[in-house]
């Protein structure tokens, strides 16, 4: 079944799109996605094929997740999300945490972290998120904050704000963007809570983080945070 899956995926490959994606996802030497290989497959095609092969077993899923081909890792995560939603929560949660080194680009994290880690932890202790937030691995740090998207959607903001504080001094732009995005999501649901956080920390926040957090603010209010 796995070989059929790979063949079907490669039929959708587009070499021109692959070159564009390899630049977009920074796959050059020294960049955050160094060495990542793209086939140039659109997301909707990956989603459709992953759904068709959602009965792949754990060994087969891991082969995809450990692949050097980006779209195969995307498909593996989509299958994991499907299995999680169908009842294999603990198994998939553990599998995810055991393989974070392969969830190694921002789109992979953003696709999956809140749907697996966030959903699993919604009504459970969340200490693992603080461990991930302190990781030397950028993707684990991004997983920690993006996982809280599920909590935000359930109007629970405290974990997002605590992890945001931990990541205020992070040096990576991709963490700044993720934190800013999650703060903006808090603000969509409770602007007062977001602004309470901003008033305490906006002068300490990296500019990218701040810009993402205040993106939806009226111009006058954006200028206040940017220039005061």
User: Predicted confidence band at 44 (pLDDT cuts at 50, 70, 90)?
Assistant: very high
pLDDT digits (tens, 9 = 90+) for 179-220: 999 999 999 999 999 999 999 999 999 999 999 999 999 999
61 and 99 in a common domain = yes
186 and 77 in a common domain = no
Looking at 62, 81, 104, the residue that finishes a domain is 104
131 and 36 in a common domain = no
Q: Given this model, what pLDDT does residue 228 score?
A: 85
Range 184-202 burial, b when 16+ CB lie within 10 A, else e: bbbbeeeeebbbebbeebb
Q: Given this model, what pLDDT does residue 144 score?
A: 98
- At 221 the three-state DSSP class reads helix
200 and 121 in a common domain = yes
Looking at 74, 104, 134, the residue that finishes a domain is 104
Determine the structural domain holding residue 156 and report its residue range. Answer: 105-228
Q: How many domains does the chain have?
A: 2
133 and 63 in a common domain = no
């Amino acid at each position: 079944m796995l070989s059929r899956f790979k063949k079907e995926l490669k039929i959708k490959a587009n070499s021109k799109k692959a070159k564009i994606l390899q630049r977009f996802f920074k796959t050059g030497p020294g960049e955050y996605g160094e060495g990542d290989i793209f086939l140039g497959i659109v997301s909707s095609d990956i989603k459709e094929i992953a759904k068709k092969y959602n009965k792949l077993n754990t060994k087969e899923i891991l082969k995809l997740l450990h692949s050097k081909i980006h779209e195969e890792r995307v498909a593996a995560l989509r299958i994991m999300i499907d299995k999680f939603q169908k009842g294999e929560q603990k198994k998939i949660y553990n599998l995810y945490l055991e393989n974070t080194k392969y969830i190694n680009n921002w789109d992979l994290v953003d696709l999956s972290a809140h749907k697996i880690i966030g959903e699993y932890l919604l009504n459970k202790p969340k200490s693992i998120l603080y461990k991930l937030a302190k990781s030397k691995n950028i993707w684990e740090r991004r997983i920690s904050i993006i996982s809280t998207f599920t909590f935000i959607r359930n109007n629970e903001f405290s974990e997002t704000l605590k992890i945001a504080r931990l990541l205020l001094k992070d040096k990576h732009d991709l963490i700044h963007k993720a934190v800013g995005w999650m703060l903006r999501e808090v603000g969509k649901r409770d602007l007062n809570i977001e602004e309470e956080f901003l008033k305490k920390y906006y002068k300490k926040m990296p500019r990218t983080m701040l810009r993402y957090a205040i993106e939806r603010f009226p111009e006058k209010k954006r200028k206040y945070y940017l220039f005061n």
